[in-house]
Structure 1
Amino acid sequence: MDIRVHGLTSPSPFLSASDIFETELDLERPVHVRVRDDPDERTWTAHPEDHHVLNISRQAATSVMARELALHEYSHMARNEQSHPSHTQSTPEVLFLAFAGQSVERRKLTHCYQIANHMKDIYADDITLRVGPSDKLVTFLESELAAAVADRPAEVRGRRLTATSDPEMTAVNAAFALAMVERHDLVPRDHRLYDLARTAARDAPTVDVQGFKYRFLSLTDDPTESEYRKALVDTAREYVLGNGDGERTQAAD
């Protein structure tokens, strides 16, 4: 792998991650790591025609999670090079198919993008967890869910401003975390993640946490474009239109 680190930070975690990644896979295109000063950016990738870009905040690049974050993003790059449907499917196209003629809250649409990212992450981490350790991922999932649950309001009134503290999205995030650990058999059933997920479910009674967990868990390894598109459309519809008991309602503007 050709790793090029831009910015005043140590290249060690990115090179270490590439060493781990190369035990099973490789990337055809070079990776340009760009360290950003904005601490809220965390990590995200771009895929210009002849290379990949890993954008990462300086805070994340110097954290104890730096190597694991890089490994995760390399997995996204591999899925991109494989033209895996999870990484080629347009999310706006899916939302158009799912909600044509419907009136949907902007907040809910924003959450649908996060759900699409969860589905991408599942396929990326199928690679990440095959080539690398899982302990830091479990700790990360637990700490993120614990922070979101702690940030919930005493009473849910009005509109929450952020996806991280929105009880409904927190419940979906909990389903994603459980699906990840069950998909790869990472923790026992008495792990704290399950207690946090139950709390998140109580805070969002309209979200079927077990149902969303099953949707994430049931994603097949090698779906066709049509199969993946249908899975994403169905999951988005369930989040926006489902009311937790199988009925459908139209969301208000």
Structure 2
Amino acid sequence: MDVQVEGSGPVEPFFAARDLFEREATLDDPVTVRIVEDPDERTRVKHTADGHTLTISQQAATSAMARELALHEFAHMHHHERGHPSHTQSMEEVIFLALAGRTVERRKLTHCRQIANHMKDIYADDLWLSVAPAGKLVDFLESSVASALADQPSAPAWDRFGHEAARTSAASDPEITAVNAAFALGLVERHNLVEPDHRLYDLAHAAAADAPEIDFERFKGWFRSLSADPDESEYRKTLVDATREYAGGNGPAAD
């Protein structure tokens, strides 16, 4: 793997991530890591014919999760190169199939995109968790659920690696908070990362109790049991079902 680091910041986390990642997979296209000083710069990835560009703030590049962040993004790049359904499926098509003819709140459409990003993250995590410890990820998930329940606007964003998603507070949107908690629990159960008495269970169940209209167990089951190697049709159906379940809306849905 060809990884180049530009900007003022540490190179070690990105080269360490490269070395770990190559134990499981590789990237055909070169990767440029751009470290920028702006602390508000969201971690983002751009794919072009010339390769992949990961833009990351200096603050994130020097954080304790920098290596894990890079591993996660390398995994997304790998799935992009291989045309994994989770990384090629159009969300516009999913929304049409799930919700055509229905009236749906705009915020719920935004949340549906976050659910799709969670599914993409499941597949990225499947790849990198096979080569690195998961302790920091578990700590992040626990902190995020706890912060959302405490309704702290400054809580860590659920989109921990900067994809296009928005997390709102538990007070304004208990529904997406419950789905986020289902994602956290589904991910750790998928990889057997915690014991049944871990605090994350109590936090997730509290989030579920705050949103009784959300079928918490169903969402957790979707995240935990996503097919390891789905074809396009299978993945599309799962995402359509999850979108329809979350957004609901008034009127008939398309079949």
What TM-score results when the alignment is normalised by the length of structure 1? 0.89
RMSD: 1.6
Q: Hey, what's the Cα distance between the residues in 2 that align with 1:74 and 1:82? A: 12
Verify the 8 A CA contact 2:3 2:30 in the aligned structure 1: yes
For 1:130, what is the secondary structure of its paired residue? coil
Structure 1 runs of 4+ with >6 Å offset? none
Partner of 1:198: 205
Partner of 1:185: 192
What stretches of structure 1 of length at least 5 have no aligned partner?
154-161, 242-248
Deviations 1:112-162 (A, max 9, x none): 110000000000100011111111110111111111111179xxxxxxxx6
Partner of 2:130: 130
Match of 2:229 among 199, 222, 227: 222
1:59-208 pair list within 5 angstroms = 59-151=59-151, 163-165=167-169, 166-208=173-215
Letter in 2 for 1:163: R
What TM-score results when the alignment is normalised by the length of structure 2? 0.88
Q: Hey, what's the Cα distance between the residues in 1 that align with 2:152 and 2:136? A: 25
CA separation of 1:113 and 1:202: change in aligned 2, threshold 3 A: same
Q: Hey, what's the Cα distance between the residues in 1 that align with 2:28 and 2:149? A: 41
Is residue 6 of structure 2 the alignment partner of residue 2 of structure 1?
Answer: no
Identity %: 63
Is residue 217 of structure 2 the alignment partner of residue 213 of structure 1?
Answer: no
For 2:39, what is the secondary structure of its paired residue? coil
Deviation at 1:210, TM superposition (A): 0.9
Deviation at 1:41, TM superposition (A): 4.0
CA separation of 1:49 and 1:194: change in aligned 2, threshold 3 A: same
Q: Which has the higher contact order (CA 8 A, sep 6+)?
A: 2
Verify the 8 A CA contact 2:24 2:127 in the aligned structure 1: no
For 2:14, what is the secondary structure of its paired residue? helix
Verify the 8 A CA contact 1:42 1:60 in the aligned structure 2: no
Stretch deviating more after TM superposition (36-45 or 80-89): 36-45
